[in-house]
A and B are shown apart, each in its own frame.
Chain A
Amino acid sequence: MRTIQTEVLVIGGGATGMGVLADLALRGFKAVLVEKRDLTHGTTGRYHGLLHSGGRYVVKDPKAATECIEENVILRRIMPHCIEDTGGFFVVTPWDDPDFGDTFLQACDDTGVPSEEIDVAVMLREEPNLNAQMQRCFRVPDGSADSFLATQSVAELGRQHGAQVLNYHEVKNLIQDGDKIVGALCHDLVRDEDVTIYADITVNAAGAWAGKIAGTIGIEVNIMPGKGTMIAAAHRVVNTVVNRCKMPADGDIIVPAHTVAIIGTTDERVADPEHFAIEPWEVNLMMEEAAKLVPVWKETRMLRCWGGVRPLYQETKVADTRDVTRAYTLLDHETRDGVTGFITITGGKWTTFRQMAEVTVNRVCEKLGVERPCTTAETPVPNPFGHTGSYHYLGQRLAEVEKEKKFDALICECELVTRADVEHAITKGIAHTLDDVRRDIRLGMGPCQGGFCTYRAAGIWHELRDDPVEVTNVTLRDFLQERWKGLRPILWGQQLKQERLDELIYLSVLNADHLPGETASRLGPAMYEKGSIEDNPKAVT
């Protein structure tokens, strides 16, 4: 069995875990991160991409609001290439209480979130698709974040300082030696073999899966998985983040991200962070609520639907998961459970990942009896895929393609992904599936949802890798199935027509349902279905 020895083992390849890893590396620790699937497989890769100003929490959760605005300022400074400076509105719709606006403004002042009221006429000039019946509008410094790119970038920062990232390494159980956790037994899903990792300290940053990890040694960490369903429209119906100015509820935010606009979310308690369904009522609710903000929404082409699971933590159970604090929690299992060498960082949200990492690594330092200051708030984060130092903007990829006249090499026309981008992601990154390539460079994320680029990317994949052809075949099939997963709940109108064209290409022209080899691999997607793995044999996790 392969064995790895390190100082700190980090479990979870989302924003929090990667933040912890990079912080550890910057402070000179030898650190290894394991993620059960690809980076951002969990909640990080399945949220709407809001860079919080804190506005959403000023009334209900002031502590979280203050954390958000502090981190908002820092992230804009250290990783602007992952952020689009969209700004944000809080709008009072005809269905909302206009007096809440005063409460909101006061709470913004109290928590340090910059805000100003603007005329509805000004709002409409900036965002003409918004409902003209709005009663009030407030401006806040929300933004739109690319959580895929951010995680890859932070991983790159960690690697530059000696950290190691292992994706497709699933923790089977923590390893206990007396009262001490000494590491974890992992399973390498790609090579299908076990790997033992020994560490002085193990950090559980597994998000919605944190309870499962702690559970392997009988420690109870009460994570309440709160499912949020989101839908992306195939257009930027707004260029500003738009929030309902009321207490947080279902379907009250639209975030413009890259070429799409995303409505979110629901909040439903689920039993399992991996296996859950997207219910028709959730889709309908998102459509109805989005149309209150942007009346043209229902006539807009829908692109995709997905669900993410919030890692909400609380020691005592409550019925409605939205009442749980968004502020993060650090659990030192030495003081809490009498087990040394093990800490859990949980809760929080993407915007506060850096602060969560700082607090976590401070505790690691304490436990190891060393004093090393945190530098992440001042350290610029590199970009493994392009520029740094300025905000992302919508036309950026087009500008790059036009500047270098790379039209002939476009593999994914929808998202302007070039052949060089695909080759880079396949050869330089840690991608094991085309879906991993997608997360790296947005391959297949546009309107045709992989209709044209799946074949192209599989062709390039096969050229660049030494895989047997059956591996390429199942990689292609897995990716088509993964795209299908998020299409099925919202297929109507133009997108249904598009999907039929994709069928024409892959069945009629390519006969890809008769490719040699397996029809699905263990690296393939888990579908949005109710039930257990046994009920749904393809959904291997």
Chain B
Amino acid sequence: MANLKDVLVIGAGLAGLTAAWQAAGPDKKVQVLAKGWGATHWHSGCIDLLGYWPLDADAAVTNPLQAIAQLIQEKPQHPYALTGLDNIVAALSAFQDLCAEAGYPLEGTPEKNWLLPTAVGTFRPTCLAPQTMTAGDLSSDAAMLLVGFKQFVDFYPHVAADNLTQQGIPAEYVMLDLPALARQHRLTSVVLANMMEQAAFRQEVAQALKPKLGTAARVGFPAVLGLREATAVWQAMSDLLERPVFEIPTLPPSVAGIRLHHILRDAIQAEGGWVFDGMEAVGAEKDGGRVTAVFTETAARNRAHRAENYVLSTGGILGGGIYASYQGGVKEVVFDLPVNAPDNHLDWFHTDFMDKRGHPIYQTGISVNEQFQPVNGSEQPLLSNLFAAGTTLAHCEPIQERSFEGIALVTGYVAGRLAV
């Protein structure tokens, strides 16, 4: 068949893009079907590997790799147990290399979590953070000034500064009211990030800030310091303010996450792969224990996409790969793979929104073997040329564990390599 790909990846979140990047090569035709963009546009733009374990621990994990070794003992079906520690180290290292080559270094090692400030002033454990964020490191109590923009409704430095101060990090705040922003019709993080790429606007920001720096040893901004040129923007702001500058992730859309999306897309394209946008996978054709096609919806009829191997990385309930309908049960949407949801709606949730155990429904997912092939109840692969990766996998709670990006990246890395 002329149009046969080597690998078809379904889903363009961090897991799918990582899988495609790993699978693509000079003699490997790789295509990604993207319904839309993934959770990269929502998350912090850092790589959380494991932030809290056990889930109800008060203190954050300090050494994620060590904590994962313990987690694997307790949860032998967890995705990290299936990848193993070596793959975790290899995946993170490969991704750090990729980002560094793209001029956007991610700092950190799998043996140490950063504690970085959030937009409400809590201490957030994360494993890899872009260089643009690490001066916010809370193991240092160097005084900080947090900067907000009056017209930007998604960052409130006052509450963040007060919480940091309350927890031993001296922090002040300033809210800038700049003429250039007053002219904006709707100031989103992406608009602000694009403005930050203009030297004149950076000058305006710096001029307004300089009289207010006081004793601050470092200056924190919402994560809007440039989109394509983040490192240069961050460097320029640091130079203008003559002290370290750092970004703080805030409400979506996440500029820092979009940067990772861009880096991965560029890498896939550089290897000859491509991302097919606006393609929602709605079903599949199976024959003889293999997937023979995946269908997407187009205007006239369903379109078939065929490949040797397939990677399913459509996300869990958040990504839409798993859908729970009213009285219709919980389903995996493309292949109708079995999922492990509780039967009774009453058992889907705990009483508290922030229950540290995580709501059981969100641990619904696809069970896979060590080859990342979806399996049935007796651990037999259901479809021999299908692999699954990312937060669509069962036996994990990526948000409560603070392993959201880590699971996506590491399982995407492994599944992508297995699929070629």
Would you give the 0/1 interface string for A490-515, flagging 1 where the beta carbon is closer than 8 Å to chain B?
A: 01110011001101111111111111
Partner of A504, one of B349, B354, B404: B404
Chain B residues with CB below 8 A from A458, complex form: 120, 156, 159
**Does B399 have its Cβ within 8 Å of any Cβ on chain A?**
yes
Tally of contact residues, B, Cβ under 8 A: 57
Kindly state the separation between the CA atoms of A470 and B167 in the bound complex, as whole angstroms: 11
Kindly state the separation between the CA atoms of A497 and B185 in the bound complex, as whole angstroms: 30
Q: Are A492 and B156 in contact (CB under 8 A)?
A: no
Kindly state the separation between the CA atoms of A460 and B150 in the bound complex, as whole angstroms: 11
Q: Are A456 and B186 in contact (CB under 8 A)?
A: no
Chain A residues with CB below 8 A from B121, complex form: 469
Chain B residues with CB below 8 A from A474, complex form: none
Knowing A455-B120, A469-B162, A508-B44 are in contact, say whether A496-B361 is a contact too (CB < 8 A): yes
Q: Are A511 and B123 in contact (CB under 8 A)?
A: yes
**Does B320 have its Cβ within 8 Å of any Cβ on chain A?**
yes
Q: Are B120 and A501 in contact (CB under 8 A)?
A: no
CB distance from A96 to the nearest CB of B (A): 24
CB distance from B52 to the nearest CB of A (A): 9
Number of A-B contacts (CB under 8 A): 152
Chain A residues numbered 384-410 whose CB sits less than 8 Å from any CB in chain B? 405, 407-410
Chain A residues with CB below 8 A from B404, complex form: 504, 508
**Does B318 have its Cβ within 8 Å of any Cβ on chain A?**
yes
Chain A residues with CB below 8 A from B250, complex form: 509
Would you give the 0/1 interface string for A462-501, flagging 1 where the beta carbon is closer than 8 Å to chain B?
A: 1100000110110011001101100010011100110011
Kindly state the separation between the CA atoms of A506 and B250 in the bound complex, as whole angstroms: 10
**Does A519 have its Cβ within 8 Å of any Cβ on chain B?**
yes
Kindly state the separation between the CA atoms of A372 and B346 in the bound complex, as whole angstroms: 56
Chain A residues with CB below 8 A from B349, complex form: 488, 491
Kindly state the separation between the CA atoms of A55 and B154 in the bound complex, as whole angstroms: 47
Knowing A496-B317, A507-B400 are in contact, say whether A529-B43 is a contact too (CB < 8 A): no
Partner of B156, one of A407, A456, A496: A456
Q: Are A503 and B156 in contact (CB under 8 A)?
A: no
Kindly state the separation between the CA atoms of A481 and B254 in the bound complex, as whole angstroms: 25
Chain B residues with CB below 8 A from A492, complex form: 324-326, 345
**Does A345 have its Cβ within 8 Å of any Cβ on chain B?**
no
Chain B residues numbered 394-420 whose CB sits less than 8 Å from any CB in chain A? 399-400, 402, 404
Binding site secondary structure of chain A: helix
**Does A159 have its Cβ within 8 Å of any Cβ on chain B?**
no
Partner of A497, one of B48, B320, B400: B320
**Does B86 have its Cβ within 8 Å of any Cβ on chain A?**
no
Chain B residues with CB below 8 A from A519, complex form: 354
Chain B residues with CB below 8 A from A504, complex form: 39, 42-43, 318, 399, 404
Chain B residues with CB below 8 A from A481, complex form: 352-354
Chain B residues with CB below 8 A from A483, complex form: 353
CB distance from B181 to the nearest CB of A (A): 9
Chain B residues numbered 347-378 whose CB sits less than 8 Å from any CB in chain A? 348-349, 351-354, 356, 361-362
CB distance from B43 to the nearest CB of A (A): 6
Which of A407, A411, A497, A501 gathers the greatest number of chain B CB atoms within 10 Å?
A: A497
Instruction: Name the residue on B nearest A418 (C-beta).
Output: B153
Q: Are A503 and B187 in contact (CB under 8 A)?
A: no
Residues in chain A within 8 A of chain B (CB atoms):
280, 284, 287, 298, 302, 405, 407-411, 419, 452, 455-456, 458-460, 462-463, 469-470, 472-473, 476-477, 480-481, 483-484, 488, 491-493, 496-497, 500-501, 503-516, 519, 527, 529
Task: Please list the 10 inter-chain residue pairs (A to B) with the smallest Cβ-Cβ separation, ordered nearest first.
Answer: A459-B156, A484-B353, A469-B162, A511-B122, A500-B318, A462-B159, A513-B354, A511-B124, A492-B324, A407-B186
16 contacts between A and B (CB under 8 A): A287-B326, A298-B327, A410-B153, A411-B153, A455-B120, A459-B158, A469-B162, A469-B166, A476-B120, A480-B354, A481-B354, A504-B399, A505-B252, A508-B399, A509-B254, A510-B120
Residues in chain B within 8 A of chain A (CB atoms):
39, 42-44, 48, 118-124, 151, 153-156, 158-159, 162-163, 166-167, 175, 184-187, 249-252, 254, 316-318, 320, 323-327, 345-346, 348-349, 351-354, 356, 361-362, 399-400, 402, 404
